[in-house]
Amino acid sequence: MRAFLLLLTMLLIWGGANALFSRREQDADFLWIWLGNKLILEGTSPYSAESTLALQQALTGEEIAPDQYQHPIPFPAYSAFILFPSGLLPYSTAYHIWRNLQFPMLFAALYLMKRFLNLEMRWAQEHFFFFAGSIGFLYPIVSYALGQISIFIFFLFSLLFYFSQRKMTFLAGASMAFIAIRPDMFILACVTLVVILWDARQALFKIGFAAFAVLLVFNLATLPLIGFWYVDWIDILRGYSAGNPFAHYPLEMLPNTIGQVIVVAAVIIYLAWQVLRFIKKRTESETLLLVSSTVIVFSLANKLTGTYHMTLLLIPALILLHLYSNSKLRWLVWLTMLSPWAYWYTPSGSESKDWLSSLIVPLCFLSLQVIYLLIVSPIQLQANSTHIPGGKAS
């Protein structure tokens, strides 16, 4: 009965999101992925001027002026095999399949993270957990509405963590290889996996080898189709990062350079402190805190298009739910998860609401980590020592 009611809750969330948020079929971000995959499977480089023109015509119906951002295809060629067979289907069919897979992937990812973290919840808390992790957190909804791949990436991270915890090395390696559809997030996956499996070097090596093998197969499969594509792709990436007027660093929201330097210095010092704590004492909480900190720093240091990467902040959010599980301050974590809606409903004339939330929300999660270390953890240790026979309260 409990499972049935939970499934009903998920279906209501999925149906409500589908009804409330408009479909952006033709100008969805999925168009870039689909067209790139289609061109690759047809034997055409997606990084040529002709391919960029084809994308512009599909997007706007005409060629974009040379003095404007050209909207090239930034995804690596092996994405055609990661998301196979989307490039073989008509765009409308592929888009609707992709769109309808988003919420099942999101709910599956939340469930796997719940298992990975061993989150124990009452009936009502479990329902609220899936609500807060989907509609409540806002960013997955943005990814869903815009046809992005952020939910897919979060799903792959959940698979990576879940499979690596259970030493299912090939499946973990394949999940890690699939994350390489976004090479920057692949680096993040490598770092977090090293932290999680620091004391399980054999499993870490096996997962790394499996990821390398899968990526090697994908890359070799692209060469007969479009030849050596890496130089052209790197040129596209340089232009994407430097010339995209829609991409900004979250720290650009700060009013001056002094503020940026202060925040950067504070974050670096905090991350270094977390690394030292982890090296000194690799407990579960230290491991999870370092994983969480790494994801947060990644979101602050990365150049974002709107709130593109923010769905990944579900990782530190869920880790904090685990760390605060026995604390009366757990409501602070729930409140931070729901807070992006407040920035979304800033005055309509504000063009910076996305960047404001992409700066403040990660900093709020970092602040919750500090509160955990300074207040929550000592209280939990004192409570545990009090309940141990013969234990002394510190």
Q: What is the pLDDT of residue 348?
A: 45
Domain range annotation of the chain: 246-378
Cα distance between residue 383 and residue 229, in whole Å: 59
The string over 339-349, giving b where at least 16 C-beta atoms fall within 10 Å of a residue's C-beta and e elsewhere, is: bbeebbeeeee
| pLDDT (0 to 100) of residue 355 | 63
Report the pLDDT value the prediction gives residue 230, as an integer from 0 to 100.
Answer: 95
pLDDT at 386: 57
Residue 186 has what pLDDT? Answer: 95
pLDDT along the chain (394 residues), means of 10: 74 74 72 92 92 87 83 92 91 90 92 93 86 89 87 96 95 97 94 94 95 96 95 86 75 81 92 92 92 94 79 95 91 92 62 70 93 88 59 38
Residue 8's pLDDT is 80
Q: Is the pTM of this model over 0.85?
A: yes
